[in-house]
Amino acid sequence: MHRFANPARFMRLSAAILPWTAALSVVLLGLGIYLALFVAPPDYQQGEAVRIMYVHVPAAWLASFVYALVALTSAIALIWRHPLADIAAQSAAPLGAGFTLLCLVTGSLWGARMWGTWWVWDARLTSVLVLFFLYLGYIALVNAFDEPGRGARAGAILALVGVVNLPIIKFSVDWWNTLHQPASVFRLGGPTIAAAMLWPLLIMALGYTLLFATLLMVRMRTALLAAKLRALRLAEVEREAASLMPQQTALS
């Protein structure tokens, strides 16, 4: 893992992978949207409103997945001091917050159609809202200190503490009596959703994942280039200060 944590190696590897993930994400999302809108049948109970599922469900999956990634990279940064771990966590967190917000908004639209209300303090909805606040808290903590290292450590601790919310999100529909429907794809007995609806959903989920990978690499590359630029500017300032030292000594 240390071999892949080298920033220069990451820049070379990501430069080769980035065009492929970007192209594949566009193709899969385009295909998924077409299948969801024009091929997948309406639900016998929900009607056309079920099409919100193809945006909402992958966003919900990515919201939890990205937070798990933030927590994992935060743990790696705290324990093994990988050079890219903090950058990966800080780059992923705003993307995860975006997926979580999309999940909440589309869930509200779906709930308004099916439940007759935009929001209920349901266990699943509330735990996802807590996840959104965990993302915001992490982002705020990372940027709350003048010393980047202190902010990274504080954010990493919050990310690790917040992991306890992930199983609550996953199993809340099983532990409590909620309005939210139980799992219909990832379950021991196999998916209960019809294949005509399942395949567009999985294609959208894969497209979301590749889009996240693309944006994560772009953000990490930008962060590394910004850090390199800061280092070059600091070195230039130090050279200028060193060149002025003999002149000041001569004048004194």
pLDDT (tens digit, 9 = 90+) per residue, 224-252? Answer: 999 888 878 877 777 777 776 665 555 55
Tell me the Ramachandran region of residue 153: left when phi exceeds 0, alpha when psi lies from -120 to 50, beta otherwise: alpha
Confidence check: pLDDT of 19 > 70 = yes
pLDDT given at position 185:
66
CA–CA gap between residue 186 and residue 163 (Å, rounded): 20
- Binned at pLDDT 50, 70 and 90, residue 44 comes out as confident
Tell me the Ramachandran region of residue 61: left when phi exceeds 0, alpha when psi lies from -120 to 50, beta otherwise: alpha
Q: At what angle do helices 195-251 and 53-80 cross, to 10 degrees?
A: 40
pLDDT (tens digit, 9 = 90+) per residue, 171-187? Answer: 887 777 776 676 666 55
Q: Say whether 47 sits in a helix, a strand or coil.
A: strand
- Binned at pLDDT 50, 70 and 90, residue 192 comes out as low
pLDDT given at position 223:
94
Opening angle at CA 167, ends 186 and 154, nearest 5:
130
pLDDT given at position 62:
97
The predicted model gives 106-119 an average pLDDT of 88
Domain locations in the chain as residue ranges:
34-251
The predicted model gives 22-29 an average pLDDT of 98
pLDDT given at position 248:
57
pLDDT given at position 227:
86
pLDDT given at position 142:
95
Residue, of 130 and 44, whose pLDDT is higher? 130
The predicted model gives 22-49 an average pLDDT of 93
Name the percent of the chain lying above pLDDT 90: 62
Confidence check: pLDDT of 86 > 70 = yes
Confidence check: pLDDT of 29 > 90 = yes
For residue 137, how many C-alpha atoms fall within 13 Å in the half-sphere facing its CB?
Answer: 15
- Mean pLDDT (the chain) is 88
Confidence check: pLDDT of 6 > 90 = no
pLDDT (tens digit, 9 = 90+) per residue, 126-159? Answer: 999 999 999 999 999 999 988 888 999 999 999 9
Helix and strand totals (H; E) in the chain:
7, 0
- Binned at pLDDT 50, 70 and 90, residue 113 comes out as confident
Do the Cβ atoms of 16 and 184 come closer than 8 Å?
A: no
Q: Say whether 43 sits in a helix, a strand or coil.
A: strand
Confidence check: pLDDT of 4 > 70 = no
